[in-house]
Amino acid sequence: MRYEHLVQINDPLMPLLDTLTRNQVWQGLMVRAEDPAQFVLGLEGATIHSHEVRGEVHELTRTLDFGSFRVDDRVRLVRDRGSEVRTEAGPTWPASRLTITIEEPQPELLFLRFVYESDETAGGEESDPVIVGLREQAYERADLDTVVRIRALAEQGVLG
């Protein structure tokens, strides 16, 4: 399964919307990696097992606690470029990857590109168009919520 979409961050046609910088968006992605409960509905907590920094690259290993189940993943963030989350397969879900890329086709015109990929078997419910459509809608809603949360953190002065 692969699903990709863009979310516009800054819109020159909406002057009342505060313009975010590339660095603020990246810092928001860092907060999302370090404190994912602020961003993920139903997430009760997260344990960060390691956080390594090598130049502009940050790597974290985490366990996400959803109450009735836990998910292990690895997050790789590259300063001002984006992040990648690799989730290990579990008893009822496949291994997956979420890549978030910061794009700036023109100065201050920022977008986030979200790419979801998973190692799913063919012929199951994954190929049901209704389920696929619902999953894609859920991804888009969660990604819009991520941008709303990053905006709120910027307004609070948390992102510089």
Provide the residue range defining the domain that includes 70.
2-155
Q: For residue 146, how many other CB atoms are within 10 A of its CB?
A: 20
pTM greater than 0.75 = yes
Is residue 141 a part of any domain in this protein? yes
Is residue 84 a part of any domain in this protein? yes
Where does the pLDDT of residue 126 fall: very low under 50, low under 70, confident under 90, or very high at 90 and above? low
Is residue 144 a part of any domain in this protein? yes
List C-alpha distances in Å: 152 to 41, 53, 77: 16, 26, 21
Q: Which residues contact 135 (CB under 8 A, 6 or more apart)?
A: 3
Residue 37 is part of a domain; what is its CATH number?
A: 3.30.530.20
Is residue 160 a part of any domain in this protein? no
Is residue 132 a part of any domain in this protein? yes
Q: What is the pLDDT of residue 123?
A: 44
Q: Which residues contact 74 (CB under 8 A, 6 or more apart)?
A: 59, 60, 61, 62, 85, 86
**Overall number of domains in the chain:** 1
48-63, pLDDT tens digit by residue?
Answer: 999 999 999 999 999 9
Residue 78 pLDDT exceeds 50: yes
Residue 160 pLDDT exceeds 60: yes
